[in-house]
Structure 1
Amino acid sequence: MPNSYTNKLHPGMKFPEFSLPLLNGEARTVGKAQNGFDWQLVLIYRGQHCPLCTKYLNQLQVLKSEFNDIGVDIIAVSGDSKAQLETHLEKLTTDYAIAYGLTIEQMKAYGLYVSDPRSAEETDHPFSEPGLFVINEDGMIQVVDISNNPFVRPELGALKNGLAWIRNPDNHYPIRGMHTY
């Protein structure tokens, strides 16, 4: 039985911005687009122990330029330590920003589901289950997808195509799902 409830972020809400470290020593504000882009895709993954996360992060790399072409910056984030991220990079083919050190409190602020490791061999800390947020130029949540397990994630090609359609000014497409009852 769960010991608490999560507060979910909703479309149209201001995305909580947190500064997290990158391996190069810089800090990056999660939720604030960089590199001349005005939207940001924030991908929160379970950590280096998750082979499905590794596969997903590498799939995102394949589409990175297409996301960039429609003005979307990319950052991936986990609760892993610096050492765990360094180990994980041996399996990754990515060149977008990857931040580490997401805290339990930050996971809660993002409305993520948090799991305990199955064993010490898996990892040494509670970790968030996958979350994906697309933040628009106003810092508002345009798209949100939160999962309680590693098996359910948005298909990245469909997401990119959808964002391209949303970003086309001729479509006048608003933020969807803003009513919660």
Structure 2
Amino acid sequence: MKKYLLIVVIALACLPVFAQTGLTKGDSAPIFNAKDNVGKIIDLKALLKSHKSVVLFFYRGEWCPYCNKHIQQLQDSLQLLSNKGAYVIAVTPETNEGINKTIQKTHASFSIIQDKGYQIMKDYKVNYVLDDATVAKYKTYGLDLNKSNGNTDHILPVPATYIINQMGKITFVHFNKDYTKRATVNDMLQVL
């Protein structure tokens, strides 16, 4: 029964997403400062001085099987990415409780930022608002976005990935409104 409900939730999530267009290759990356899941201050400008690049990606929540699969792939390849001089950062609207569940499911050891006010998502133009009907349907299948995100505005990110070089320029973009399509580690490694 749970598998059936999950399939229905995923099918509903396939409804067209009305989102921004994301940033493009060559754009200057918006600078941000935020605390990650372990309380570390993540200063993008400082990271770009101390690392060759930053891999910045956005995910919807621990309830999304595609997000968990992508995070697990990044975790499994973290040493390869790090060996190329990359620092990996995940950004999500979910609460700290949700982030902890994500870590339990995926064993993610990289920085995860709760974008509570959606400023990072807005700056990178990946935010969108789910319509009320979709939110209500999610709830009938056990997904309460109000609880998951700790608010009532139902904003989620397109699960985009950006690679930012030391000059602060975006050198790689994977932005697809189809949340099932994610950047591959291989694609990232080729850019790094």
Q: What's the TM-score, normalizing by structure 2?
A: 0.73
Higher relative contact order (CA 8 A, sep 6+): 2
Structure 1 CA distance for aligned equivalents of residues 186 and 69 of structure 2: 14
Q: Does 1:41 align with 2:55?
A: yes
Q: Mean alpha-carbon deviation: is it higher for 125-134 or for 104-113?
A: 104-113
- Show the counterpart of 1:145: 174
Structure 2 CA distance for aligned equivalents of residues 94 and 18 of structure 1: 21
- What are the ranges of 5 or more consecutive residues in structure 2 without an aligned counterpart? 1-15, 147-153
Q: What SS is found at the alignment partner of 1:20?
A: strand
Alignment of 1:125-164 (within 5 A): 125-160=154-189, 162-164=190-192
Aligned residues: 162
Structure 1 CA distance for aligned equivalents of residues 69 and 19 of structure 2: 30
Deviations 1:4-23 (A, max 9, x none): 87353222221012222222
- Show the counterpart of 1:57: 71
Deviations 1:36-91 (A, max 9, x none): 42200001111111111011101111111111111111111111111221222221
- Specify whether residues 105 and 98 from structure 1 end up closer, same or farther in structure 2 by C-alpha distance, changes over 3 A only: closer
Contact (CA 8 Å) 1:134, 1:142: kept in 2 or not?
yes
Contact (CA 8 Å) 1:107, 1:114: kept in 2 or not?
no
- Specify whether residues 60 and 31 from structure 1 end up closer, same or farther in structure 2 by C-alpha distance, changes over 3 A only: farther
- Show the counterpart of 2:8: none
Specify which structure has the higher proportion of helix: 2
Counterpart among 99, 123, 130 of residue 85 in structure 1: 99
**Runs (4+) of structure 1 moved beyond 6 Å?**
none
- The Cα RMSD (Å) is 2.5
The percent of aligned pairs where both chains have the same amino acid is 20
Task: Look up the equivalent residue of 1:119 and give its one-letter code.
Answer: Y
- What are the ranges of 5 or more consecutive residues in structure 1 without an aligned counterpart? 165-181
- Specify whether residues 111 and 150 from structure 1 end up closer, same or farther in structure 2 by C-alpha distance, changes over 3 A only: same
